[in-house]
């Protein structure tokens, strides 16, 4: 199983915030955004492993700013690090208001996915090769988050 670069796992998803995606204040529902984050992260882990991937955990989702009805949401996901059978995927979310000409970073999330075979059993994930300074930083931070996750399970 050949190692892959981070850029080989990148997925970009774009969604338009419609009325059925919002609460009574006209803001994007957190649950709807979490659904999009999960799909985008699953696709990145699938691209990396060439296996169907299932969500193992969600470390955190930070909500920096509300996203309004009519705005365009763009999600960027990539595998930060591969462990034995699991992969940490980072997702960064931006909202754009094309009428106002604004774009802002609204959310960040870290999820762990596991690739599975046709019987649903975990399979080894290919190693990831960080190539840039930013990718190396995310690679190293992923190990720190993994250690914290494992500590909380003990």
Would you list the domain boundaries of the chain? 4-153
- Band (pLDDT 50/70/90 cuts) for residue 20 is very high
- 93-123 pLDDT tens trace: 999 999 999 999 999 999 999 999 999 999 9
How confident is the model over 11-20, as a mean pLDDT?
A: 98
- 36-89 pLDDT tens trace: 999 999 999 999 999 999 999 998 788 899 999 999 999 999 999 999 999 999
**Would you state the structure tokens that stand for residue 20, as one six-digit string?**
């059925």
**Would you state the structure tokens that stand for residue 119, as one six-digit string?**
């019987």
Q: Is the pLDDT of residue 24 over 80?
A: yes
- CATH number for domain 4-153, candidates 3.40.50.720, 3.40.1350.10, 3.30.1490.190, 3.10.129.10: 3.10.129.10
In whole angstroms, what is the distance from residue 56 CA to residue 72 CA? 28
């Amino acid at each position: 199983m050949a190692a892959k670069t981070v850029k080989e796992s990148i997925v970009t998803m774009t969604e338009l915030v419609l009325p059925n995606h919002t609460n009574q204040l006209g803001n994007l529902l957190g649950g709807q955004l979490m659904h999009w984050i999960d799909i985008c992260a699953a696709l990145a882990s699938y691209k990396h492993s060439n296996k169907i991937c299932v969500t193992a955990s969600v470390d955190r989702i930070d909500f920096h700013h509300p996203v309004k009805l009519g705005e365009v949401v763009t999600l960027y996901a990539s595998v930060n690090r591969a462990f034995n059978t699991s992969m940490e995927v980072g997702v960064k979310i931006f909202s754009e208001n094309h009428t106002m000409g604004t774009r802002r970073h609204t959310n960040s999330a870290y999820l762990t996915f596991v690739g599975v075979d046709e019987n649903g059993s975990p399979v080894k994930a290919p190693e990831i090769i960080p190539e840039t300074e930013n990718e190396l930083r995310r690679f190293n931070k992923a190990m720190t988050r993994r250690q914290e996750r494992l500590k909380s399970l003990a």
